[in-house]
Structure 1
Amino acid sequence: MNISTVQINTTTAQLGITTTPGRQSIQQPQATVDIRQPKAEMNISTTHGVLTIDQTQAWADMNRKHIFQRIKETAAEGRQKALEGTGRRAAEGRELADIHKGGNAIVMQAARHTTRNYETGLTWIPSHGSVNIHYRPGDVHIQAQARPVENNTRPNKPIINYQPGSVNVQLKQYPSIDFQFVNKTI
């Protein structure tokens, strides 16, 4: 017996894809920098400190006085001793003048002239506090005026180059269907 059959043959479609990648480049130029700092105005004034040292008393304690001071003191001491001597002699003269009233004036005067009083003791040369020190501190006045920064910096825009990519699609093989009738005997 002959049976007709249909035989179907198909061919699939084939696609071909070709791509070209895109390219991008970015360049960033440096910023244009323009910064200035004006100098600050500063004014400084000072008052000098003053140190005074007076050691006149210390030199006097060591008997190393200035010649004018020594002359002045010696003259004052000589005048005082002269006045004391004059007074003592006048008193002794009165005692001797009153010898008729009784008493032993000559013996008493001799006894006064033979006894002497000496002062002894420990002294510091120069004496404590004989050097006078005085200090007046100085002063510093500072006046400063700051100036603001002048900033004229400008950023530069980036340079961007872009080349787009592409995709090409082609049909390499068309699809097909083939029908055949075949007679088969069974």
Structure 2
Amino acid sequence: MNVPKLQLQSTNAQIGLNIQKPIQEIKQPQANLDLQQPQAKMSIETTKSKLSIDSFEARESMDFKNSRSRTAEIAQQSKQEGLEGIGRRAQEGQELMNIQNGGNPIAEQAKRRGRQPYSSINIKFIPQADSVKINFEPAKVDIQVEPQKVINNSTANKPSHNYTPGKVKVEMLQYPSLKIDWLI
């Protein structure tokens, strides 16, 4: 027996894509740079140092005296010697007035006047220690600095952006088909 057969024949559909890619252009121009740095304002004030050396006592101890000191010293010494002379003469006068009490006051006075006084020999350090006075005031420095701010006039440039979108074109290259046959 012959059984009828069903025969199917199909063709697939085919789609074609035509793609045009998108185009993107980005450009970044450099920034306009304008920076200025003014100099800082600086002021320096100084006071001079002072050095004072007082060698008055050292000069006095080495017998390098000024006229005022020398005059005062001689005046004091003269006054002292004058008073001592007056005292000595008053004593000698008293001795001569009391001659009746005995003794030989004139010979004794001559002996006393004929003796030379001994001078003492001493070691003396010239100039004396700490006789030079030194005073020093150091200099003072006052520095004032005033920084100046940066002047920034820079500008950033915007980027240029061009975009062309892509396109996709779809077309049917082959349509689907189905054939059905009966075979007997």
The two structures have a TM-score, normalised by structure 1, of 0.71
Distance 1:160 1:144 in 2: 48
State the 1:143 CA deviation. 5.1
Residue number in structure 2 paired with 1:118: 120
Distance 2:135 2:43 in 1: 30
Kindly report which structure 2 residues correspond to 1:25-174, keeping only aligned pairs within 5 A, or say none: 25-63=25-63, 65=64, 68=67, 72=71, 75-76=74-75, 79-80=78-79, 83=82, 86-87=85-86, 90-91=89-90, 93-94=92-93, 97-98=96-97, 100=99, 101-105=101-105, 106-107=107-108, 110-111=111-112, 113-114=115-116, 116=118, 118=120, 120=122, 123-142=124-143, 145-174=146-175
**Amino acid of the structure 1 residue aligned with 2:61:** D
Distance 2:73 2:145 in 1: 61
Unpaired runs of at least 5, structure 1: none
Q: Cα–Cα, structure 1 residues 119 and 135, in superposed 2: closer, same or farther, change >3 Å?
A: same
Work out whether residues 41 and 146 of structure 2, in 8 Å CA contact, stay in contact via their aligned partners in 1.
yes
- Give deviations 1:78-126, integer Å, cap 9, x for gaps: 7357525743662464255336143453336635735536264x64432
Work out whether residues 35 and 151 of structure 2, in 8 Å CA contact, stay in contact via their aligned partners in 1.
yes
Distance 1:71 1:115 in 2: 24
**Amino acid of the structure 2 residue aligned with 1:28:** Q
State the 1:146 CA deviation. 4.7
**Amino acid of the structure 2 residue aligned with 1:116:** Y
Residue identity over aligned pairs, in percent, reads 32
| RMSD across aligned positions (CA) | 3.5
Distance 1:84 1:119 in 2: 26
Work out whether residues 19 and 168 of structure 2, in 8 Å CA contact, stay in contact via their aligned partners in 1.
yes
Unpaired runs of at least 5, structure 2: none
State the 1:13 CA deviation. 0.6
Work out whether residues 92 and 109 of structure 1, in 8 Å CA contact, stay in contact via their aligned partners in 2.
no
Distance 1:123 1:24 in 2: 107
State the 1:58 CA deviation. 1.6
State the 1:130 CA deviation. 0.6
